[in-house]
Amino acid sequence: MPNLPATYVTTTLRDGVVSLGARPFPRDALGAGTVVIKPDHLGICRADVKEILGSRDVMADRGPLFGHELVGAVAFAGAGTGFREGEPVTLNPNITSARTTGFAEYVLVHGTEEQLDQAVVRVPEPSRPDGVWMPEPFACVVHALRKLLHHTGLPSLRGKRAGIIGAGCAGLMFAMYARHLGAPVTVFNRGEPRRAFARQQGILADGEVLPLTDAAAPAHRDGFDIVIVATTVATPELLATAAGLAADGAVLFVYGGTRRGDSFPAGRADVDALRRRERLASVTYREKRIDLAGAYGCLREDYEEGFRLHARHPRDFPLERLASRRISLDEFPRRVMDMATGAADFPGKVLITVAPGE
Ligand SMILES: NC(=O)c1ccc[n+]([C@@H]2O[C@H](COP(=O)([O-])OP(=O)(O)OC[C@H]3O[C@@H](n4cnc5c(N)ncnc54)[C@H](OP(=O)(O)O)[C@@H]3O)[C@@H](O)[C@H]2O)c1
C-alpha cells in the first residue's frame, strides 16, 4: 500500500470539543470490504454543529454524521469493493455506520459490495478550483423533492406556489430545485445576513427572499401550495408559521430540525416520525386541511440525479455559489467551535480544502 502514509491527520469530537491530531494509519483495518477516500474538499453541515452541541438524535443504523460532506478520490479499494484507486468519489453517510469521520486526511468506509455501492458514490464531473460544491446536501434536497412529488402524485411543481422557511444551504437548494420544477418561490429567513448572501450570490432575486416576520402578513397568509421548513430546528412556532402560510390542501414539508417526540399540531401528528420514515399525514389546522410530510437522507440515485441536474442546468443550479468561505483542515477545529458556540455564523457553505500535502 505505497499510497497510504504511516500516520494521518484526523479529527476527534469528544465531550463537545473538536480537536485535530496525527494518528497511526489503521492499516490493520484495511480489508477486502474497505474503501479509503482521500478528500480534497469537505463541507461543514449544520448537523455537524448540532452533534458538537449534542442537540441531534444520532440514528444507530448510520451513526454520527460528524464529517460527512466530502469529495475526493479513492486511495485504497479492497478486492471486494468494486472500486479502483484514483476514482473521484463522494460519500453517502446514510448507508452504514462502519466509517470514520470525514474531517480527516483519509476516510475509511467498510461494508459489503452492495453497501459500498450505495455508500461510496462516483463523481462524474471533475471539480474545478472555483467550482466546488457538496453533493450530499444537494442529494438530500433532490431526494426530498422527489418524495414530495411522489406523495402528491404531481409530475412537477408547475403552477404551485412554494414557500420556504430558512435561507440556509438547504433552503437555497430547495429554492433552486422548486423553481426548476416550475414553482415561483418565496424564501422567508429570520436574519438579514443569509438574505443578503442569497441576493449577493444571485441565488435569489429581491422579491424572492423576505424577512421571516413577513410570513405573518395577510399578503402571504394561506398563500402557498407547498411550504418547506428548512431551518436548524423546526420549533412549534416555526411550524405554526409554516401552517399559516399554507393554503387549504397544501403540503407542509418538514426537512430540518425535528427530534424524537416532536408533534404538530401539539399532540397530533408525530412530525419527527413523519420526517424520518418519509410518510404523509393529513391534519386539520385552523379549518384548513394540511398534508404533513418529510424526508430524511438520500440514496445513490439522488446523487446521480443531482450530478445530472447540475451538469445539464448549471444556471438553475449554481451550487458552487453556496460556498461562502474556504478554510484549511488546521483551521477547522477553531472555526467549527466558533460556529457551535455562536461566536461565528457563516451564511452559505464553509468548505475545507485539504491541501495535497496535508
Ligand atoms: N431531512 C434531511 O435529509 C436533511 C438533510 C440535510 C440537512 N437537514 C437539516 O436541515 C437543516 C438546515 O440545514 P442547513 O444546511 O440549511 O443549515 P444552515 O445553512 O446553517 O441554515 C440554518 C437556517 O435555519 C435558520 N434558523 C435557525 N434557527 C432558527 C430559528 N430559531 N428561527 C428561525 N430560523 C432559524 C437560519 O436562519 P438565520 O439566518 O436567521 O440564522 C438559517 O436559515 C438542519 O437542521 C439540518 O440538520 C436535513
What is the tens place of the pLDDT at every residue in 185-221? 999 999 999 999 999 999 999 999 999 999 999 999 9
Same domain, residue pair 162 and 286? yes
Q: Which residue lies with its CA nearest to atom 21 of ligand 1?
A: 168
Give 110's contacts (C-beta < 8 A, 6+ positions apart).
Answer: 29, 31, 33, 34, 96, 98, 99
Q: Is the CB of 166 under 6 A from ligand 1?
A: yes
With respect to residue 306, please indicate whether it lies within any of the assigned structural domains.
no
The pair phi, psi for residue 258, each rounded to 5°, is -110, 155
Same domain, 97 and 177: no
The C-alpha atoms of residue 256 and residue 270 are separated, in whole angstroms, by: 14
Task: Indicate whether 73 and 165 sit together in one domain.
Answer: no
Verify that 144 and 119 share a domain, yes or no: no
* CATH at 335: 3.90.180.10
What is residue 3's three-state secondary structure? Answer: coil
Nearest to 87 by CA among 96, 78, 77: 77
**Is the CB of 258 within 6 Å of ligand 1?**
no
336 belongs to a structural domain: yes
Strands (E), the chain: 7-14, 17-24, 34-43, 69-77, 88-91, 107-110, 120-122, 162-165, 185-189, 209-211, 224-229, 246-254, 263-264, 269-270, 280-285, 288-294, 323-328, 349-353
Instruction: Extract the C-alpha cell encoding 331.
Output: 483551521
Q: Of 41, 20, 50, nearest to 325 (Cα)?
A: 41
Specify if 96 maps to a domain: yes
- 148 within ligand 1 shell (Cβ under 6 A): no
- Which pLDDT value is given to residue 279? 94
State whether 140 and 288 are in the same domain: yes
Name the residue at shortest CA distance from atom 6 of ligand 1.
Answer: 137
d(CA 198, CA 284): 34
In 3D space, the residue among 68, 143, 81 whose CA is nearest the CA of residue 303 turns out to be: 143
Tell me, yes or no, whether 266 and 197 share the same domain. Answer: yes
Which numbered atom of ligand 1 lies nearest the CA of 194?
39
Residues 6+ apart with CB under 8 A from 343: none
Q: How far apart are CA 109 and CA 114, in angstroms?
A: 13
**C-beta of 190 in contact with ligand 1 (< 6 A):** yes
Same domain, 141 and 54: no
> 177-193, pLDDT tens digit by residue?
999 999 999 999 999 99
Q: Which residues contact 312 (CB under 8 A, 6 or more apart)?
A: none
Q: 150 and 181 in one domain?
A: yes
- The per-residue pLDDT for 358 is 47
Q: Is the CB of 94 under 6 A from ligand 1?
A: no
Q: Tell me, in angstroms, the distance from the centre of ligand 1 to residue 318's CA.
A: 19
303 is a domain residue: no
**140, 177, 204, 232: residue to mutate for ligand 1 pocket, most atoms within 8 A of CB:** 232
Give the residue, out of 53, 143, 231, 335, with the most ligand 1 atoms within 8 A of its beta carbon, to mutate for a pocket test: 231
Q: Which atom of ligand 1 is nearest to the CA of 255?
A: 1
- Any domain includes 326: yes
Are residues 156 and 226 both part of a single domain?
Answer: yes
Cis peptide before 93 (omega within 30 of 0): no
In this prediction, residue 176 carries a pLDDT of: 98
Q: Which of 108, 103, 112 is nearest to 33 (CA)?
A: 112
Summarised one tens digit per residue, pLDDT across range 266-299 is 999 999 999 999 999 999 999 999 999 999 999 9
What is the reported pLDDT for 1? Answer: 58
Question: Do residue 114 and residue 155 come from a single domain?
Answer: no
**Strand-pair partners of 252:** 227, 292
Is the beta carbon of 236 within 6 A of some atom in ligand 1?
Answer: no
Do both 24 and 161 map to the same domain? no
Which residues in the chain land under pLDDT 70? 1-2, 126-127, 129, 356-358
Residues 282, 144 within the same domain: yes
Q: Grid coordinates representing 32?
A: 477486502
Q: Is residue 307 part of a domain?
A: no
Residue 240 domain-assigned?
yes
Where among 279, 294, 309 does a domain terminate?
294
Last residue of a domain, one of 278, 294, 310: 294
Residue 305: inside a domain, yes or no?
no
Domain that holds residue 323: 7-123+319-353
CATH code at 154?
3.40.50.720
pTM greater than the 0.75 cutoff: yes
Specify the residue with its C-alpha closest to ligand 1, atom 2: 296
Centre of ligand 1 to C-alpha 257, Å, is: 7
Total domains in the chain come to 2
Q: Which three cell numbers stand for residue 102?
A: 470525514
The pLDDT score that the predictor gives to residue 63 is: 79
